[in-house]
Amino acid sequence: MEKFTRFSSRVVPLLVDNIDTDQIIPARFLKVTDKQGLGDNLFADWRFNADGTPRPDFVLNMPAHRGAQILLAGDNFGCGSSREHAPWALAGFGFRVVISTSFADIFSNNAMKNSILPLALAAGDHARLAALLGADPRTELTVDLPSQALLVPGGAAMRFPIDGFAKTCLLNGVDELGYLFRFTEEIEAFERTTSRS
């Protein structure tokens, strides 16, 4: 897994509340047996016309946002299905951070397992950031995971919470499976003492 520490990028604002995983990656694109290519269909039904041409009025298609690695979304991002194809599609497109005020539990877990930071801001900070980007869409933000701060030009750093264990995993680029395997003896003992096999 890729290490996540500190980086700077412009932002794509998609200020819709309750963006569900069916919008992030529609179900018809889940008929895959690997993780490749899902970024091509990220937000497919919002991004493309029926004939497959890009919709110029959709933020992801606007030249000003090309190459941005931060997505600024509305409240409760990632609700709905448990499909990990959602963070695979976001990562495939090039996103490394999604900013919201809250995230659906399963999406949040899935995102961090793919080096995507679900960055939850307080509602006031979220609104200030949205206003700032409204005024200057080319604003560049710096995400500093060690200090859990979002650095905004000309303003005070915005703090964000993150689970300490998940933070360590992201900073070191380690996945949880290695950690779980450290407890093989405990798992065996648990199975023995509770008569599970």
Partner 1 sequence: MNAPKPKTLFEKVWESHVVHQEPEAPAVLYIDLHLVHEVTSPQAFAGLRSRGLTVRRPGRTVATVDHSIPTGDPSLPLTDPLASKQIAQMEENARWGGIRFFGMSSAGRGIVHVIGPELGLTHPGMTVVCGDSHTSTHGAFGALAFGIGTSEVEHVLATQCLLQRRPGVFEIRIEGKRGPGVTAKDIVLALLARIGVGGGTGHVFEYTGPAVGALSMEERMTICNMSIEGGARAGMMAPDDTTFEYIAGREFSPRGEEWDRAVAGWRALPTDDGAVFDRSLTLDISDLSPMITFGTNPGMGLAVGGPVPRPEDVKDPSQRSALRKALEYMNLTPGEPLLGRPVNVVFIGSCTNGRLSDLRLAASVLRGRKVDPAVRVLVVPGSQAVKRQAEAEGLDRVFTSAGAEWREAGCSMCIAMNGDQLSPGQYAVSTSNRNFEGRQGKGGRTFLASPLTAAASAVTGKITDVRTLS
Contact of 69 with 119, CB cutoff 8 Å: no
Contact of 83 with 114, CB cutoff 8 Å: no
- Minimum distance from CB of 27 to partner 1 (Å)? 5
E strands, 17-135, where? 70-73, 97-100, 117-120
Greatest CA separation for the chain: 63
Interface with partner 1 includes 76 (CB under 8 A)?
yes
Nearest CA among 142, 147, 102 for reference residue 120: 102
Interface with partner 1 includes 52 (CB under 8 A)?
no
Q: Which is closer to partner 1, CB of 154 or CB of 177?
A: 177
Strands 97-100 and 117-120 turn out to be parallel
Could you say which residues in the range 131-160 bind partner 1, by CB under 8 A? none
| Rounded Cα distance, 103 and 74, in Å | 10
Contact of 71 with 90, CB cutoff 8 Å: yes
- In the β-sheet with 6-14, what is the strand arrangement from edge to edge? 117-120, 97-100, 70-73, 6-14, 140-144, 149-151, 158-159
| Rounded Cα distance, 160 and 103, in Å | 13
Interface with partner 1 includes 128 (CB under 8 A)?
no
Q: Residue from 49, 124, 163, 173 that binds partner 1 (CB under 8 A)?
A: 163
- Only segment of 4-12, 21-29, 138-146, 149-157 that touches partner 1 (CB under 8 A): 21-29
- Minimum distance from CB of 20 to partner 1 (Å)? 5
Interface with partner 1 includes 124 (CB under 8 A)?
no
Q: Residue from 58, 113, 139, 151 that binds partner 1 (CB under 8 A)?
A: 113
Interface with partner 1 includes 167 (CB under 8 A)?
no
- Minimum distance from CB of 71 to partner 1 (Å)? 17
Interface with partner 1 includes 179 (CB under 8 A)?
yes
The residues of the shown chain that bind partner 1, judged by CB under 8 A, are 15-18, 20, 22-23, 26-28, 30-35, 45, 50, 74-76, 79-84, 87, 102-106, 109-110, 113-114, 163-165, 175-177, 179-181, 183-184, 186-187, 190-191, 194, 196-197
